[in-house]
Amino acid sequence: MTPLERNDRLIRIGLLMIALSAISILAIITVFIFEQGTPIMFKYGLKSFLLGRDWYPTEQSFGLLPMIVGSLMVTAGALIIGVPLGLASAIFLTEFSHRRLTRILKPVIELLAGIPSVVYGFIGLMFLVPFIRENFGGPGLSVLAASIILGIMILPTVISIAIDSIRAVPDSYREGSIALGATKWQTVRLVVLPAARSGIVAGIILGMGRAIGETMAVIMVAGNAANIPDSILAPVRTLTSNIALEMAYAGGEHREALFATGVILFIIIMILNTLANVTTARQRRK
Amino acid sequence: MRQAEEKPEHRPGSGEKFPFFPLFKFSSGSIIFILLVALLLFPSCRQGKSGHTIVVAGSTSIQPFADKWAEVFMEKRHGVVVDVQGGGSSAGIQAVRTGAADIGMSSRELRDDEKELYEIEVARDGLAIIVHPGNPVDSLTIEEVKSIFIGEITTWEKFTGQKKAITVVVREEGSGTRGAFQEMVMGKSRISRKAIVQDSNGTVREIVSRDPNAIGFISLGLVNESVKALALNGVKPTEEAILNREYRLVRPFLFLTKEAPSGLVKEFIDFVLSEEIQELIHKEGLIPVRPITRSGG
């Protein structure tokens, strides 16, 4: 073995160990959350956790249904707001805008991802919440406010991945389409977008992951009532907010119930990711 | 995200850039540094009672104030460390029982099974029911407050004639302020599920100060001109009304010890009860107490 080969091998083993350490941290986190969170779920029954509507953890009432529904509603709301906006921006920036403009705008959009979430929350609390309260009624702290803030927060992810996948569509596709007499818009809609679909969907999935996991901004604008909202103007609490909001003073079973919240969040994210992956894989096969 | 250009030759150590997302780059050096700092800090949190350290733990309502008292104390007594920790009243009581803390802090009265501890009241804190300053309501009865927070009364109609929905703002489960409110106002009744929940006195005040239809509760010391504190059963939450116990929403700030205070522990407690600190307590919006030492069985 030459010294060069030995070095090579050492580096390979070193990198392998680093890679494994990352995975083992993930495994440790999983084991820890489940170990802390599952005993109490079995003690009071899975059903009372998943379907209970009352969250009064200091009185042994651990219904997580409002938070599960809350997380799903807010995430869906964020996608409804963020995806059309993001996709439209991506199409404009790749197909219609001047190249120089794109070169300025794209980094600016990516900069949005670097703004701390507490800043989004603060801006939401200062401007969006009063706006909703004065114009639509209700307390302002609401599903709507949280959805809009999260919709904006997922924009950079959706846009930059969509731009990359639209750019990856070969120019020969566009040229062929134009040559056949299609307009620019028809080309985008019927040729470019379908060809870029898997990348676009991947961006949306990443955005969804960000929306469901976001905590700070949501706590600030959602109102956090542990109640299933009866309108988009009613306050809502998500699973992540539930944990962050109450972790500080929680002890005993209350604390375990928060870990149980983590377990359910973990499972929901797994289900959503699997669903998304399966659907994209199926689409790709078609 | 941009793909890194593929290079045909990989020369380790030639400093090529990896396609990391540029905003979240941690070098291994910084991670090791963080871990080392954590290791250095951790044992210091766990120091038991050595000669020059006293551990004070418990109510998070008292903690920020106790931090200041400890700071002033440590300035006067060089070489002495007063370590103030949170955890909540119940945790504080538990800690002083097991000996994990020298002084426990509780912002609620002791239960009968906890009465074996020595308790020293160091201050009192009132709970204020607050509304928007533009709200015409000045006074409610405790029963009315209770009905509002249960969710039986949902509009201001009965009080102001306007049919505006009430925005109820409360603290999160487990907080000492919520615990005090639950105990002193709600009794066995539950706070409505529809109530907006915030995780600090400051944010409750912030929301009530911005929403004309809101009602909430915060520590009396934190009431300022941005909100209006309501009179309860006709009694305004003034210092006088609290001292002669006419205003009902008042909770004690207790220091607890396992045995009769002695040595450094006694010194610290006496210091907190001294005129200097009682004046500081007054300045910070709490209600000072005269040094009355009660001890249980």
Per-residue pLDDT tens over the stretch B188-200: 899 999 999 998 8
Is 3.40.190.10 the CATH number for B126-243?
yes
A223 Rama sector, left if φ>0, alpha if ψ -120 to 50, beta otherwise: left
Are A146 and A17 found together in one domain? no
Q: How far apart are CA A85 and CA A80, in angstroms?
A: 9
The token pair at B86 is 């949170």
CA distances (Å), A1 to each of A7, B9, B11, B47, in order?
Answer: 10, 21, 18, 53
Choose the closest CB to B199 out of A114, A234, A245.
A245
For chain A, the straight-line distance linking the first and the last C-alpha, in angstroms and rounded, comes to: 50
The answer to whether the Cβ–Cβ distance between A139 and B172 falls below 8 Å is no
Number of domains in chain A: 2
CATH number reported for the structural domain that contains residue A157 in this entry: 1.10.3720.10
User: Given an 8 Å threshold on Cβ–Cβ distance, is B194 in contact with A139?
Assistant: no
Q: What is the ipTM of this complex?
A: 0.84
B180 pLDDT band, cuts 50/70/90, is confident
Q: How confident is the model at residue B295 (pLDDT cuts 50, 70, 90)?
A: very low
What pLDDT does B35 receive?
Answer: 60
Parallel, antiparallel, or unpaired for β B167-171 and B196-198?
parallel
Amino acid sitting at position A186: Q
Q: Is A161 in Cβ contact with B173 (below 8 Å)?
A: no
Q: How confident is the model at residue B32 (pLDDT cuts 50, 70, 90)?
A: low
Which residue of chain B comes nearest to A116, CA vs CA?
A: B23
> Which of A249, A253, A255 should we substitute to test contact with B (largest number of B Cβ atoms within 10 Å)?
A249
The reply to whether B176 touches chain A by the CB within 8 Å rule is yes
pLDDT at B22: 44
List the single residue in A with minimal CA-CA distance to B90.
Answer: A251
Predicted local confidence at residue B153, as pLDDT: 93
Q: What is the DSSP string of chain B?
A: -PPPPP-S---TTS-PPP---GGG---HHHHHHHHHHHHHHHHHHS----TTEEEEEE-TTTHHHHHHHHHHHHHHSTT-EEEEEEE-HHHHHHHHHHTS-SEEEESSPPPGGGTTSEEEEEEEEEEEEEE-TT----EE-HHHHHHHHHTS--BSHHHHS--PBPEEEEEPTT-HHHHHHIIIIITTSPPPTTSEEESSHHHHHHHHHH-TTEEEEEEGGG--TTSEEPEETTB---HHHHHTT-S--EEEEEEEESSS--HHHHHHHHHHHSHHHHHHHHHTTPEE----EEE--
Question: Cα–Cα distance between B170 and A225 in angstroms, integer?
Answer: 9
Cα(B85)–Cα(B57) distance, integer angstroms: 5
Instruction: Give the CA radius of gyration of chain A.
Output: 23
Q: Does any CB of chain A come closer than 8 Å to the CB of residue B163?
A: no
Domain contains A176: yes
> Which amino acid would we find at residue B281?
I
Chain A within 8 Å of B175 (Cβ-Cβ)?
yes
Max Cα–Cα distance, chain A, nearest Å? 76
Residue whose token pair is 């350490």: A21
Residue B54 to residue B263: CA distance in whole angstroms: 10
Q: Is the pLDDT of residue B23 over 90?
A: no
**Considering CB atoms only, which of A129, A160, A227 is closest to B193?**
A227
Nearest-CB residue to B174 (from A8, A140, A254): A254
- Are A58 and B173 inside 8 Å of each other by CB? yes
Tell me which residue has tokens 């805008």. Answer: A97
Count Cβ–Cβ pairs < 8 Å, chain A vs chain B. Answer: 83
Give the CATH number of domain B28-124+252-288: 3.40.190.10
State how far the Cα of B247 lies from the Cα of A143, in Å rounded to an integer. Answer: 38
- Residue A56 lies inside a defined structural domain of this protein: no
CB-CB under 8 Å, A140 with B12 = no
More confident residue, A233 or B239: A233
Cα gap B81→B185, rounded to integer Å: 39
Q: How far apart are CA A277 and CA A283, in angstroms?
A: 10
Q: Are residues A33 and A134 in the same domain?
A: no
Say what the pLDDT of residue B110 is: 84
Mean pLDDT across B17-36? 53
Judge if A210 and A102 occupy the same domain: yes
Yes or no: say if B289 and B122 are a contact pair by the CB < 8 Å rule: yes
Distance CA A67, CA A234 (A): 13
User: B-chain residues within 8 Å CB-CB of A13?
Assistant: none
When CB atoms are compared, the residue of A66, A245, A251 closest to B90 is A251
Closest residue in A to B94 (Cα) is: A251
Q: Per the CB < 8 Å rule, is B174 touching A250? A: yes
Q: State pTM to two decimals.
A: 0.76
* A249/B60 Cβ within 8 A: yes
Q: Is the pLDDT of residue A279 over 80?
A: no
Average pLDDT of every residue of chain B: 81
Chain B, residues 45-64, CB within 8 A of chain A, namely 60
Please state, as a whole number, how many other Cβ atoms lie within 10 Å of the Cβ of residue B68. Answer: 14
Span B241-267, mean pLDDT? Answer: 88
Percent of the residues in chain B that have a pLDDT greater than 70, as a whole number: 80
Are residues A179 and A251 located together in one domain of the fold?
yes
* Whether residues A44 and A90 fall in one domain: no
Q: Which among A53, A55, A139 is the nearest to B167, CB-wise?
A: A139
Domain extent, residue A132, equals 65-285
Measured CA to CA, the distance from residue B266 to residue B77 in angstroms comes to 14
Are A15 and A142 in a shared domain? no
Q: What span, in angstroms and rounded, lies between the C-alpha atoms of B107 and B291? A: 17
Chain B residue at shortest CA distance from A244: B199
Judge if A15 and A137 occupy the same domain.
no
Cβ of A58 within 8 Å of Cβ of B198? The answer is no
Distance, in Å, from the CA atom of A139 to the CA atom of A145, rounded to the nearest integer, reads 11
Q: What part of B 89-118 touches A (C-beta under 8 Å)?
A: 90-91
Residue from the list A160, A224, A234 with its beta carbon closest to the beta carbon of B198: A224
Residue A58, in any domain of the structure? no
In chain B, domain spans:
28-124+252-288, 126-243
Exposed / middle / buried, residue B21 (Cβ in 10 Å: 0-12, 13-18, 19+): exposed
CB atoms within 10 A of CB A203: 26
Confidence of residue B40 (pLDDT cuts 50, 70, 90): low
Helix (H, G, I), strand (E, B) or coil at A235: coil
The model's pLDDT over B115-141, given as tens digits with 9 standing for 90+, comes to: 888 999 999 888 899 999 999 999 999
Residue of B nearest to A63 (CA): B193
